[in-house]
């Protein structure tokens, strides 16, 4: 069964968590770095996505800390989330390869 | 300079648009991210931030319900306890002062009272003229104020200072009624663990509602009624009374109130770990009460042996230590065992 394509924000959040657990603000800064500043998540968007990803069991809470009297919760990719991210990365890579291949056949990118 | 309190208020107003269950779980966390993302000198939420939060909140309210994020009953219980326990202790003190045990009139006390020319009772306002009681209550007021203001570190410091003072002034402690002594010890031991290991009193303040208040009030009443039973069997009364006072009404009253506490907690589905913490807090007092009711007038605190002290304080100390260990242990292994861990499919 084919899965729906992943939204870019979701893909970047999962990518940010692929190297290890991160807290909310860490994810925001990492996503910005991964996308070379193109995608800047806001807190509302981030937590809507995190809530959905937790419900879909693609991520889970890794641990919690109290920093400066504020709760800091770290999220990690679950095995299911890793598989889903790998599948999505493969799909994007295949699409990109196909696109570049056809562009080459047509005379290359100008 | 950033007006962080005004900015935080602004964010909280926006976060109030989220569904209650989501807010209950995530508000403090999102707020931390928003505050970390704020620009230097920012005084209120920016338009784009406000629009993003409102859109996110609306989306959550409109979407189909789904199983919520995993609960954190243990850390929530500690956070709740961190704010509830000092308040409980204060209420217990107030009841100790407001509802003293009056010596029954059919005793030798009547003659002695006439000789003394004043009314004799156990507890009540005269407690404040006893050495140390006013200072002990003052410490409790300070700790309660600090946890209400969510000043965790200052509350811990005040708690440590109070504990040191109790130890230094241990020879004067005997002036304080045993129930207050033992409840204070139980509260201080577990409160320290709760402040160290929980997300903090800010989270506790967020979790606390009127149901917790009712349960704590009834529990404090149960403690005070049982204290009257204890007072009726205490040495001064035993000395003054012609025959041992009938304590049936106090016994029945305290049992009824204790059953009410448990029934309300079950009916309202209060966090069971929180109830466990309350039970551990009351353990030293319950132990003393149980021993004093055995009939042989065993008094664990009168001339305490190391064994007596261990019996009274070791269980809550171990419980507090266990709570801290559970809270500081890396959660990966526990998360893998939890239903939300996302095991391979």
Residue pLDDT, tens place only, B268-290: 888 888 888 888 888 888 888 77
Q: How far is A51 from chain B (nearest CA, A)?
A: 7
**Which domain, by its residues, includes A37?**
8-105
Asked if the structure places residue A2 within a domain, the reply is no
Contact indicator for B59, A48 with CB cutoff of 8 Å: yes
CATH of the domain at A29: 1.10.10.10
Which among B17, B32, B333 is the top mutation candidate for probing chain A, defined by the most A β-carbons within 10 Å of its own β-carbon? B32
Asked if the structure places residue A3 within a domain, the reply is no
* Percent of chain A residues past pLDDT 90, beyond the cut: 51
Q: Select from B53, B199, B343 the Cβ nearest to the Cβ of A64.
A: B199
Sign of CA dihedral B45, B25, B77, B192: negative
Looking at residue B124, its pLDDT comes to 65
pLDDT tens digit sequence for B217-244? 999 888 888 887 777 776 666 666 666 6
Confidence check: pLDDT of B25 > 90: no
Maximum mean pLDDT: which of A51-55, A64-68, B50-54, B117-121: B50-54
Would you call A61 and B152 a contact, using CB atoms and an 8 Å cutoff?
Answer: no
Q: How far is A94 from chain B (nearest CA, A)?
A: 24
Q: How far is A63 from chain B (nearest CA, A)?
A: 5
Query: Which residues in chain A are closer than 8 Å to B326, comparing Cβ atoms?
Result: none
Between CA B266 and CA B275 the distance in angstroms is 10
Query: Which residues in chain B are closer than 8 Å to A76, comparing Cβ atoms?
Result: 332, 335
Which among B25, B33, B35 is the top mutation candidate for probing chain A, defined by the most A β-carbons within 10 Å of its own β-carbon? B33
Confidence check: pLDDT of B123 > 70: no
Q: How far is B167 from chain A (nearest CA, A)?
A: 29
Would you call B199 and A71 a contact, using CB atoms and an 8 Å cutoff?
Answer: yes
Would you call A57 and B29 a contact, using CB atoms and an 8 Å cutoff?
Answer: no
How sure is the predictor about A36, in pLDDT bands with cuts at 50, 70 and 90?
very high
Which among B16, B17, B25, B36 is the top mutation candidate for probing chain A, defined by the most A β-carbons within 10 Å of its own β-carbon? B36
Short-list B84, B28, B24, CA closest to B261: B84
Q: How far is A93 from chain B (nearest CA, A)?
A: 24
Between CA B261 and CA B268 the distance in angstroms is 11
Size of interface A-B (CB pairs under 8 A): 117
Would you call A67 and B32 a contact, using CB atoms and an 8 Å cutoff?
Answer: yes
Average pLDDT over residues B134-156: 86
Residue of A nearest to B49 (CA): A42
Q: How far is B181 from chain A (nearest CA, A)?
A: 30
Q: How far is CA A25 from CA A43, A63, A78, B75, in A?
A: 8, 15, 20, 22
Average pLDDT over residues B174-185: 77
Would you call A24 and B30 a contact, using CB atoms and an 8 Å cutoff?
Answer: yes
Between CA B239 and CA B241 the distance in angstroms is 6
Q: Select from A43, A59, A67 the Cβ nearest to the Cβ of B30.
A: A43
Q: Select from B22, B55, B203 the Cβ nearest to the Cβ of A51.
A: B22
Q: Select from A55, A63, A69 the Cβ nearest to the Cβ of B202.
A: A69
Average pLDDT over residues B302-327: 79
Among A76-85, B63-72, B192-201, B305-314, where is mean pLDDT lowest?
B63-72
Domains identified in chain A, total number:
1
Which among B56, B59, B345 is the top mutation candidate for probing chain A, defined by the most A β-carbons within 10 Å of its own β-carbon? B56
Q: How far is B217 from chain A (nearest CA, A)?
A: 28
Looking at residue B336, its pLDDT comes to 35
Would you call B56 and A48 a contact, using CB atoms and an 8 Å cutoff?
Answer: yes
* Percent of chain B residues past pLDDT 90, beyond the cut: 8
Query: Which residues in chain A are closer than 8 Å to B150, comparing Cβ atoms?
Result: 69
Query: Which residues in chain B are closer than 8 Å to A80, comparing Cβ atoms?
Result: 342-345
Query: Which residues in chain A are closer than 8 Å to B17, comparing Cβ atoms?
Result: none
């Amino acid at each position: 069964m084919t899965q729906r394509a992943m939204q870019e924000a979701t893909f970047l959040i999962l990518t940010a968590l692929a190297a290890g657990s991160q807290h909310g603000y860490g994810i925001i800064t990492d996503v910005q770095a991964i996308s070379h500043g193109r995608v800047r998540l806001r807190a509302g968007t981030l937590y809507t996505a995190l809530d959905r990803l937790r419900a879909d069991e693609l991520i889970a809470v890794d641990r919690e800390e109290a920093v400066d009297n504020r709760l800091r919760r770290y999220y990690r990719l679950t095995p299911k989330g890793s598989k889903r991210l790998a599948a999505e990365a493969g799909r994007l890579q295949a699409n990109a390869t196909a696109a570049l291949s056809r562009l080459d056949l047509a005379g290359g990118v100008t | 300079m950033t007006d962080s309190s005004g900015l935080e208020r602004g964010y909280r107003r926006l976060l109030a648009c989220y569904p209650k269950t989501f807010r209950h779980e995530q508000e403090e966390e999102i707020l931390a991210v928003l505050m970390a993302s704020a620009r230097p000198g920012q005084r209120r939420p920016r338009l784009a931030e406000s629009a993003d939060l409102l859109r996110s909140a609306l989306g959550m309210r409109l979407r189909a319900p789904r199983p919520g994020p995993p609960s954190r009953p243990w850390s929530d219980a500690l956070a709740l306890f961190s704010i509830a326990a000092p308040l409980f202790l204060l209420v217990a003190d107030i009841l100790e002062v407001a509802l003293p045990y009056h010596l029954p009139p059919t005793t030798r006390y009547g003659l002695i009272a006439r000789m003394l020319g004043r009314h004799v009772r156990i507890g009540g306002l005269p407690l404040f003229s006893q050495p140390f009681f006013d200072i002990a209550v003052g410490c409790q007021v300070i700790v309660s104020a600090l946890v209400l203001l969510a000043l965790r570190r200052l509350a811990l410091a005040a708690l440590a200072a109070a504990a040191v003072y109790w130890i230094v002034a241990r020879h004067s402690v005997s002036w304080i009624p045993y129930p207050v002594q033992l409840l204070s010890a139980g509260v201080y031991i577990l409160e320290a663990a709760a402040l160290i290991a929980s997300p903090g009193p800010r989270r506790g303040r967020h979790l606390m509602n009127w149901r917790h208040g009712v349960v704590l009030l009834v529990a404090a009443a149960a403690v005070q009624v049982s204290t009257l039973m204890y007072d009726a069997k205490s040495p001064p009364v035993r000395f003054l009374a012609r025959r041992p006072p009938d304590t049936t009404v106090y016994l029945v009253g305290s049992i009824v109130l204790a059953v009410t506490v448990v029934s309300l907690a079950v009916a309202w589905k209060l966090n069971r770990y929180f109830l466990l913490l309350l039970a551990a807090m009351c353990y030293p007092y319950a132990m003393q009460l149980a021993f004093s009711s055995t009939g042989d007038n065993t008094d664990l605190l009168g001339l305490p042996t190391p064994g007596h002290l261990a019996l009274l304080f070791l269980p809550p100390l171990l419980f507090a230590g266990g709570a801290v260990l559970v809270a500081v242990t890396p959660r990966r292994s526990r998360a893998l065992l939890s239903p939300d861990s996302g095991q391979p499919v």
